[in-house]
Amino acid sequence: MPPQGAGVTIGAPGKRRRGGGTTSSHDEHQESQSGEPGEKEPDIRFTLANERTFLAWNRTALALVVAGLGIVQLLPPFPRVPWGRHVLGIPLIALGAIVSVTAYLEWRRTQTAMRRSEPVPQSVLPRILVGTITGVAALSAVVLLVSAVR
């Protein structure tokens, strides 16, 4: 029997469970329905954690959409910069769509890695988010400067 915590990958069958005599259905590993032979469904708790991460990214995506929409619809127009609100709001809305689609692709990639007992791949979403938000912040500064100087 391997020692507790020996597994370096998430979802490797048989690496956890000690719970004094209590067995529960969530610990059962099933053969994957869709995967190749040799792939096993990971512990349901890891599947659920992966799902929660996906949902959290989708809430982030919705927040970005609301932020973009709020900039376009609720802010008063920038003086002398009529396109200012759209330049700031539309990239945020587009980022919302990108984050949602990428979150699904990453959820699938992580689930496949766990099924194969491989290391979980690193997420690209934080980088996308940081890049776009930094870009929008810089753009806001430009719009404000143009609006003030012109």
Interacting residues with another protein (CB under 8 A): 1, 4-5, 16-21, 24, 26, 32-35, 41, 44-45, 47-49, 51-52, 54-56, 58-59, 61-63, 65-66, 68-70, 72-73, 77, 82-83, 85-86, 89-90, 93-94, 96-97, 100-101, 103-104, 107-108, 111
Shortest gap between Cβ of 104 and another protein (angstroms)? 4
Whether 8 contacts 113, CB under 8 Å: no
Q: Give me 19's structure tokens.
A: 């719970």
How buried is residue 58: exposed, middle or buried, by Cβ count under 10 Å (0-12/13-18/19+)? Answer: middle
Q: How far apart are CA 25 and CA 6, in angstroms?
A: 23
Shortest gap between Cβ of 110 and another protein (angstroms)? 12
Shortest gap between Cβ of 141 and another protein (angstroms)? 21
Q: How far apart are CA 67 and CA 55, in angstroms?
A: 18
* Between 72 and 139, CB nearer to another protein: 72
* Between 62 and 145, CB nearer to another protein: 62
How buried is residue 38: exposed, middle or buried, by Cβ count under 10 Å (0-12/13-18/19+)? Answer: exposed
* Between 81 and 144, CB nearer to another protein: 81
Shortest gap between Cβ of 37 and another protein (angstroms)? 15
Which residue blocks in 1-150 are alpha helix, DSSP H?
44-74, 84-115, 125-149
